[in-house]
Chain A
């Protein structure tokens, strides 16, 4: 869905989760699956053709999103070698590789149209976007599991602050695949029903897929009125590969770092988009971390009951959701939440809430490996 449909789903607090139809898996699952037709990759870039690249292209060309136009304007202004492309992803084109393994196991060789480096390898989508847009500068993927999209924003902001680039196309793109669903299932983290973040009866993740792209450019007189990325705080848990630190120390560190870099107080944050994956432990640890930084003073919500957990895209998608909240002056709801977990001490908003003077928002993303990032954006 494009920006307009996403805004509407947020305003209506309308879940987009449906039973998985893209492929078969041996257990029931609701997912955030992209149902709209995806744009085709042009012939010259055929070796990049995979679902991840098609989601990226469809996101890039979304009219209301306007990212493609923004890149074209920046190209005119700065030159194609001064614009970077940094894309977060957790599994890139793995969906196609999974099918190729079916062929490998039955015939002993990969299919002729299997292109590992340009489809599956992590940089494939970033490189595809660079070639599609005729850009020539810095280009790489960030893959830190579910914080990838947020870390890509951090990297883009740094490339601009350090004078290495004048503008950077950043974001996250991830698509549904068997490995992720069956892997999360092996960890007993997949919900058979639509997920219910922060609910006392929550029972796991609904996996989703998405592309989220943002065009960042250096500050100058003409773009003072544009939306802003103020800071990204990053930290590591140093605790466990797939379980967060029990007191949420790493998560709190990322939020505090973001506030410090932006030169803000906790009272300056008007809305916090939680990572809130709807697993028992992740949500309880995050609520503890948020309370340790903000007490219960900041309105929070988790939007994965609408979009699903879009993994490597989540950090970018939910930063965009935070920006939509600021632009349209409302706090998104927490779709799926019926009875707030008594352990949750932070201020969780259940239904969308219209407010005035929303200026600054934060978005949390936490990934495997204890990899944390909190993005602060403003009007």
Chain B
């Protein structure tokens, strides 16, 4: 049974370049050229961010997205689309857009990712509130322990209306990783996430504050460990119990 998963690539998409700078993170804004106009017109900000990060992660890792199974992890998924539809519902005379309706499902991004890459491999869409990144990693672990290979994990959440669950959704953030059971081209390795003895007080204050408003920013400690080649215990969420994994170069 595998004891470590190797990270082949990691890519961030965040429209807020000041935020990336303040955490000393590399990342990009949405790259429109990656999404054909026909799909771009129909997709939300969250899907475009997630697809940008996922495309960059795949090209960095040199993997073929057409055969790569994937896990999409997001607290709220298509919140902007869902919000727009919910605003129409109190009026019986309003007709919903069929495109907006099928674009409101949680696996919208996963669906467009498969369509864009002609990928028939399995994909799943998960959610776990503050634990979304940690549980996404566990889903990847379970998949790769069952069958060796590579997985794409995409973690993302967009800007939300602030009457839903403030401060969630004040910042949009997406990140994608390619994990492998094999050490070739590895940039670092992680152990299985476990509940750690850490408490919220042990967490870095700026990261905690950001992640309260951008759930996908839970990935930042792992990204920084990867960037700085800094081995250690990496927290994966901000509310107790704190899940963590051991990062090694």
Contact = CB atoms under 8 A, between A and B. Distances in A.
Contacts of B131: 123, 139-140
A102 interface: yes
Nearest to B138: A138
Interface in A13-52: 24-26
A155 B124 contact: yes
A178 B89 contact: yes
A109 B163 contact: yes
Interface in A168-185: 178-179, 182-185
B164 to A, nearest CB: 5
Given A162-B141, A178-B89, A241 B112 contact: yes
Interface string A224-252: 00000000001111111110000001100
Interface in B63-88: 75-77, 82, 85-87
A159 B142 contact: yes
Contacts of A140: 126-128, 131-132, 135, 138-139
A144 B139 contact: no
Interface size class of B (residues with CB under 8 A): 35 or more
Nearest to A238: B114
B20 to A, nearest CB: 26
Contacts of B126: 140-143, 155
Contact of A241 (B115, B125, B241): B115
Given A162-B142, A368-B107, A371-B110, A237 B120 contact: yes
Contacts of B143: 158
Interface string B202-215: 00000000000000
Contacts of A90: 105-106
B111 A371 contact: yes
Interface in B193-249: 195, 241
Nearest to A243: B102
B115 A238 contact: yes
A369 B89 contact: no
A254 B117 CA distance: 18
Contacts of A155: 124, 126, 139, 142
A130 to B, nearest CB: 10
Contact of B120 (A25, A104, A123, A253): A253
A159 B1 CA distance: 13
B163 A241 contact: no
Contacts of B98: 183, 186-187, 242
Interface string B98-110: 1101111111101
A101 B90 contact: yes
B37 interface: no
Contacts of B168: 117
Interface residues on A, range: 35 or more
A179 B86 contact: yes
24 contacts: A98-B89, A104-B163, A105-B90, A122-B75, A139-B128, A158-B139, A159-B138, A159-B142, A161-B146, A164-B192, A183-B85, A183-B101, A185-B96, A234-B122, A236-B114, A236-B119, A236-B123, A237-B114, A238-B120, A239-B115, A242-B98, A242-B102, A367-B105, A368-B105
Given A123-B128, A237-B114, A241-B115, 15 more contacts: A26-B92, A102-B89, A105-B90, A123-B127, A140-B132, A158-B139, A163-B1, A164-B138, A164-B142, A186-B101, A235-B120, A236-B123, A238-B115, A249-B120, A368-B111
Interface of B: 1, 75-77, 82, 85-87, 89-90, 92-93, 95-99, 101-108, 110-112, 114-115, 117-129, 131-132, 135, 138-139, 141-143, 145-146, 163-165, 168, 192, 195, 241
Closest 8 CB pairs between A and B? A369-B111, A183-B101, A143-B106, A162-B145, A234-B122, A122-B127, A140-B128, A140-B135
Interface of A: 24-26, 81, 90, 94, 97-98, 101-102, 104-105, 109-110, 116-117, 121-123, 126-127, 136, 138-145, 151, 155, 158-159, 161-164, 178-179, 182-187, 234-242, 249-250, 253, 367-371
